[in-house]
A = this chain, B = another copy of it.
Amino acid sequence: MRSVAVIGLGKTPFGAFPDRDLRSLAVEAGEKCLHNGNLAPDAVESFFLGNFAGPSFVGQNHLGPYVSSALGIRGVPSTRIEAACASSGSAFYHAWTEVAAGVNDIVMVVGVEKMTSQTTARTSEILAAAGDCAGEMKAGNTFASLFAMIARRHMYEFGTRKEHLAAVAVKNHANGALNPDAHMRKAITMDQALAGKLIADPLNLYDCSLISDGAAAVILAPLERAREFTSKPVRVLGIAQASDFVALDQKDDITTFPAVRRAAEKAYRMAGVSASDIQFAELHDCFTIAEIVATEDLGFAPRGQGGPYAFEGCTARTGPRPINTSGGLKAKGHPVGATGVAQICDVALQIRCEAGARQIPRHSLGLAQNLGGSGATCVVSILGEA
């Protein structure tokens, strides 16, 4: 397999944009990305579109060529991948596969979601389709209630406290406040985080990520060709996608995600690094408890200790291993199909020393973890300086 590099990246701001449609967001991110990688559309040899629920949110399907043709990319394979909230992480994995295996040299990935045109009730229903609709969702669950059960069990097993969850929210809001592209640029206090409106006990409003519109894009190329396009290539050192049951009730233990552990193990092995080598990460904080569990499953914190690990500041921007310097899904926003590629962009921006006010000093080896549903899909990517 060949070494692969990210040679271009582009993002829209994340937020609620009533006057923007899905395609215009995807095209904005794609055009910024082509410009960033100094590439014309006809240089792209293969195109992947990560999108969770365009047909349900905006009534448009067949989104691969729908977006790529609008970018001026025609003729080449153009494929939409759907893997719930890990849709564009998975698209990135398959794009990497094509370049690493020598199938294509220049492969583009765009992730997009347009969510804010629906009512909250309809949005919850659309999101629920990432879980087991005939089982856990028919029984009355929402994603908030599934992650509330995970949080409750984590509290019972390990003594995790609401203050631990709130610490994740406070940190990610602080980071988001420094990110000009974040959906919510508002720092909050621990008292505010603890006093949020209850959504699904023990999760309150500040434990939940945002419903957002947005898009993100990257272009991949063989590392040996990367400097034809950019002076700042970012190397993909390790990557893996893994799967598990969709329904939470089929799992033996809901306080850990086997798909995350498996993807991490494979990605670490490919990169030749261990968890302790990772300097910073973008993790899938769809709910605060998800970031806590991820820090454990990735080996950053010991099992059961993800809560104190966050509470003690280990994951702060100024701490030993910053997590979600972008603001994460919690503050940057979570346009579902865009999230996986946006995480790659945010890790790459740190590595390229282009993260502005949220730039961290140790930024040569970062990780992105993109989770689908309540853990049925996970993609872990490890990026480093080229």
Contacts and interface: CB of A to CB of B under 8 A. Distances in A.
Contact of A55 (B56, B73, B83): B56
A244 to B, nearest CB: 6
A121 interface: no
Interface secondary structure of A, over-half rule: mixed
Given A55-B55, A62-B373, A101-B97, A75 B131 contact: no
B243 A69 contact: yes
B60 A129 contact: yes
A238 interface: no
A52 interface: yes
A153 to B, nearest CB: 21
A62 B245 contact: no
A369 interface: no
A212 interface: no
A59 interface: yes
A52 B61 contact: yes
Contacts of A273: none
A129 B59 contact: yes
Contacts of A100: 103
B129 A62 contact: yes
Nearest to A262: B75
B77 A132 contact: no
Contacts of A372: 62, 65
Chain multiplicity (copies): 2
Interface in A365-386: 372-373, 376-377
Interface string A234-247: 00000011111110
Given A79-B81, A103-B101, A377-B64, A244 B74 contact: yes
Contact of A244 (B75, B82, B126, B242): B75
A80 B82 contact: yes
Nearest to A130: B62
Which of A53, A60, A77, A240 has the largest number of chain B CB atoms within 10 A?
A77
Contacts of A12: none
B132 A65 contact: no
Contact of A130 (B61, B84, B240): B61
A246 B78 CA distance: 11
Contacts of A373: 62, 65
Interface string A48-92: 000011011011111111101100011111111111100000100
Nearest to A138: B59
27 contacts: A1-B103, A21-B134, A53-B55, A55-B55, A55-B126, A56-B61, A61-B129, A62-B246, A62-B372, A62-B373, A64-B83, A64-B243, A65-B243, A66-B246, A69-B246, A69-B250, A69-B376, A73-B243, A74-B243, A74-B244, A75-B244, A77-B90, A77-B93, A79-B83, A79-B90, A80-B81, A94-B94
Which 6 interchain pairs have the tightest Cβ spacing? A101-B101, A61-B129, A78-B243, A77-B241, A65-B376, A62-B84
